[in-house]
Amino acid sequence: MKFNYSFNNGPYVQIRESEGKSFLMEFGEFYLGNTSKPRLLLDHIVNGDSTYGIFREWHTKWFINLYDYDYDYGIRLIDQHVYNDFDKNVAILLESDDLYENRVWLDKCIEYQKKSNSKVFVFSKFYDFFEKINQNNLKICPSDAYFPDPVYKKAYNIENDNPYDIPDVSSKEFTWNDKDGYYATYKIGRFDIEKNGINKYGNHLAQDKGLIREHWWKQYESYKNPVRWENLSSEQIADHILGLNPLELEERLNSLKKHKYLNI
């Protein structure tokens, strides 16, 4: 069996060479990066030779547990993965048409790279402008050069076109945790709220079916922006998505509570 993990627009697990078997996946996070505060968020039972992920797209310190079933023993933990993008490729897409905002977010990408020691690839409409002023070890690429998935890349017929020295995954299969692919992708922008428990893919999410974690999930405003962006600065939006200021995020989440709470 082989397990691949990626964090491109949410955490994903790919289980290979395991046809006919079932697995329990658990997705959790170390809340606000604190490894003493693991929070289990969602679990799912999947068949072998499949891929499964969840759609919470901002940065957090994810952990993923994988279990199999043994007739005599019961449930066995067989693999664990904790998010760690050290020395790995991370794509950050700046989804704004505004040059000023792209500039602010570029600084946040630099901050992210310094904090994580990952290899950051920034995708921006203003790549040519930024390339001229880039003093850091960032790869800055045009926004339409991002292809996280080799299938897409083939569809665009650009297998051999790699002018920006971006990770080339075209010759590989879904080896997402291969160092040549993107380990994680983040989109920075102002995204619409998915309403009524239906995300952009039209799926009803498990937490909207009365499961216990629903309230916790619902304190977030969407699956891309942790909190509503209307009253936030460009800097704060990037901070939240890249997990650069988790304490500020917690304050923001608390501020969503409209009414007084009884502390007793």
Partner 1 sequence: MSKILGIFGGSHNASASYVRDGEIVCCFEEERLVRIKSGDDFGRVPSQAVQKILDENEIDISDFDDVAVCAPICNEFVDRLGIDPEKITVINHHTCHAYGAYLTSGFKEKTIVLSYDGGGDTDFGKIYLAENNKLFQIKNMPVWSCGSAGQMYAHTTVCMGWRMLKDEGKVTGLAAHGEYDEKLYKQINRIFYYNNDFTFSPPDSPGKTAFLLNPLQIHKADLKRRADLACNIQLVIENELSKLLNHLNKTYPEYKNLVLVGGLFANVKLNQAINNLPWVKEVFVFPPMGDDGLSLGAALTLAYSKGERETKRLQNVFLGSSYSNEEIENSNSGRFKREAYDPDSLAQRIDEGQIIGWFQGRFEHGPRALGARSIIVKATDPNAHQILNSRLGRHEIMPFAPFVKHDKAEEIFELNKSHMTAEFMTMCYDTKPEWIDKIPAVIHKCDGTARPQLVYPERNKKFYDILDSYDKLTNIPVLLNTSFNGHGEPIIDSPNQAFVHLESGMIDALVAEDYVYYK
Stretch touching partner 1 by CB under 8 A, among 98-106, 120-128, 143-151, 214-222:
214-222
Minimum Å gap between C-beta 75 and partner 1 is 6
| Residue 49 CA neighbour count, 13 Å, CB half | 5
Give 160 or 196: the residue with its C-beta nearer to partner 1.
Answer: 196
CB contact at 8 A, 146 and 92 = no
Instruction: Give the C-alpha separation, 87 to 229, whole Å.
Output: 31
Chosen residue from 1, 33, 38, 199 binding partner 1 by CB under 8 A: 38
Say how many residues touch partner 1, by CB under 8 A.
36
Is 31 one of the binding residues for partner 1 (CB under 8 A)?
A: yes
Minimum Å gap between C-beta 180 and partner 1 is 33
Is 215 one of the binding residues for partner 1 (CB under 8 A)?
A: yes
Is 39 one of the binding residues for partner 1 (CB under 8 A)?
A: yes
Is 28 one of the binding residues for partner 1 (CB under 8 A)?
A: yes
Q: Which of 147, 140, 139 is nearest to 181 (CA)?
A: 147
Chosen residue from 20, 71, 160, 195 binding partner 1 by CB under 8 A: 71
Among positions 181-210, residues that touch partner 1 (CB under 8 A) are 209-210
Chosen residue from 211, 248, 250, 255 binding partner 1 by CB under 8 A: 211
CB contact at 8 A, 224 and 189 = yes
Is 20 one of the binding residues for partner 1 (CB under 8 A)?
A: no
Taking only Cα atoms into account, the Rg of the chain, rounded to an integer number of angstroms, comes to: 19
Q: Which two tokens stand for residue 76?
A: 């066995």
Instruction: Give the C-alpha separation, 151 to 169, whole Å.
Output: 10
Minimum Å gap between C-beta 221 and partner 1 is 13
Residues 91-121, buried b or exposed e (16+ Cβ, 10 A)? bbbbbbeeeebbbbbbebbbbbbeebebbbb
CB contact at 8 A, 54 and 3 = no
Among positions 233-262, residues that touch partner 1 (CB under 8 A) are 257-262
* DSSP-derived secondary structure for 221-248: S-SSSSS--TT--HHHHHHHHHTS-HHH
Among positions 72-111, residues that touch partner 1 (CB under 8 A) are 72-75
Stretch touching partner 1 by CB under 8 A, among 68-76, 126-134, 141-149, 246-254:
68-76
Q: Which of 243, 256, 206 is nearest to 29 (CA)?
A: 243
Minimum Å gap between C-beta 39 and partner 1 is 3
Is 264 one of the binding residues for partner 1 (CB under 8 A)?
A: yes
Q: Which residues bind partner 1 (CB under 8 A)?
A: 22, 24, 26, 28, 31, 37-41, 43-45, 67, 69, 71-75, 209-216, 218, 257-262, 264
